[in-house]
Structure 1
Amino acid sequence: MSKRPVGPVVADFTAPSAPGPGRIEGRFVTLERLDPARHVEDLFAANRDQDWVWDYMPYGPFADLAVYRDWQAAMAAKADPFFYALRDKASGRIGGLASYLRIDPANGVIEIGHIEIAPVLQQTPAATEAISLMIRWAFDAGYRRVEWKCNALNEPSCRAALRYGFVFEGIFRQHMIVKGRNRDSAWYAILDRDWPDLARAHAAWLSPDNFDAEGRQRKSLSELTAPA
């Protein structure tokens, strides 16, 4: 009698903790647990007259500061998604948001999403480091899989996922209805066994040696993560 194949045993797995640190420090950026009292005005100002930044989000744009404050307050009260505000160390100002979501400690799976980077922080080392720090925290905490999902039409997000070293896993067709429109979702993931090589690539990109006197990168993160 033949045996049907089954997956390998997951030995010595302990469910990791849910996200919880109030701050995650980097060289270029500090991730701070979302607090509208400290974060809403900077970020509302940074996104003013930039309604396109909300094109692929299920919320926004926001009519005024009061409406945006109410939204931030609702998000800050949640444990899933667990939101961080991104403080650029060079300017001292808040330039974006990102969160952990679909947090599943029992299976060691966590997603990074709700990423909203204001134009002032886009294409900066701080923006890149923020996501790198979130990936690192998840694997250091004991998660087995970190996910990234986005609208399949969102080409910048798809490119960013690959740049960080996420592996494309396919398209979930008609996955959602967002703002009355169909959304096909592109799924990406990094596994714990992939992270050591990717972590070295991220560290090499963030090294001071990788930037010239004008702050320009010598090697791109895509170049460094491609071999992994």
Structure 2
Amino acid sequence: MGYRFHPRSRTIKMDDWIFSPVLQRTYASTEAHYLLLRHLFEGQPIAYCRVSATCNSLNVKARQYHEQMGYKYEGTFRKDNIARWGTPRDSACSSMLDDEWPLNKSVLLTYLLATNFDADGKQIRSLQELRTLQTRCSL
């Protein structure tokens, strides 16, 4: 993963999350992402006000992952990067703002509770389901 820090504007851009297949779609990957976001939004000496994430616009799973984690799709940067095979690629950009973090934090913490997983470690409620419930309750 690449980072582009902008401490003066309190923004950070994270490019191309890469999880090994063993870590993909696991409790550990969600917890690691939560801990990173908590550090960025609540950290000292800098608490960031905007975290953006980009991925290859053709990578549907990565775009869905960003959405599940609470990022909002902002748009596509055309020919933003060079793919591994040397051709230009478009990058889908999503972001999360500091005023969105409290709801996303609550959703992630609820998701990560042991009571949200059965004896085999399978989730009971998805992030999307919990986000919908929490959004309704906060209105």
- C-alpha deviations, 1:51-81, integer Å up to 9, x for none? xxxxxxxxxxxxxxxxxxxxxxxxxxxxxxx
- The alignment covers a number of residue pairs equal to 130
Mark the runs of 5 or more structure 2 residues left unpaired by the alignment. none
* 1:139 maps to amino acid: F
Q: CA deviation at 1:221?
A: 1.1
Tell me what 1:120 maps to.
22
Tell me what 1:200 maps to.
106
Does 1:148 find its partner at 2:67? Answer: no
* 1:203 maps to amino acid: L
Q: CA deviation at 1:173?
A: 1.2
Percent identity of the aligned residues?
A: 37
The farther-off stretch of 194-203 and 169-178 is 169-178
Q: Say whether the 8 Å CA contact 2:16–2:56 is kept in structure 1.
A: no
- C-alpha deviations, 1:160-181, integer Å up to 9, x for none? 0000000000111122232321
Of 108, 112, 123, the match for 1:217: 123
For the pair shown, the structure with the greater C-alpha radius of gyration is: 1
Aligned-residue RMSD, C-alpha: 1.5
Q: Pick 1 or 2: higher relative contact order, CA cutoff 8 A, min separation 6.
A: 2
For normalisation by structure 2, the TM-score amounts to 0.86
Q: 3-state DSSP class of the match of 2:90?
A: strand
Tell me what 2:75 maps to.
170
Of 115, 122, 131, the match for 2:33: 131
* 1:173 maps to amino acid: R
Q: 3-state DSSP class of the match of 2:22?
A: helix
Q: CA deviation at 1:116?
A: 1.8
Does 1:189 find its partner at 2:95? Answer: yes
Q: Say whether the 8 Å CA contact 1:146–1:189 is kept in structure 2.
A: yes
Tell me what 2:13 maps to.
111
For normalisation by structure 1, the TM-score amounts to 0.54
Q: CA deviation at 1:115?
A: 2.1
Q: CA deviation at 1:224?
A: 1.9
Rounded to whole Å, the distance in 2 between the matches of 1:143 and 1:180 is 33
Q: CA deviation at 1:114?
A: 4.1
Tell me what 1:33 maps to.
none
Q: 3-state DSSP class of the match of 2:103?
A: helix
Q: CA deviation at 1:145?
A: 0.3
Q: Say whether the 8 Å CA contact 2:17–2:55 is kept in structure 1.
A: no
Q: CA deviation at 1:113?
A: 3.4
Rounded to whole Å, the distance in 1 between the matches of 2:72 and 2:95 is 5
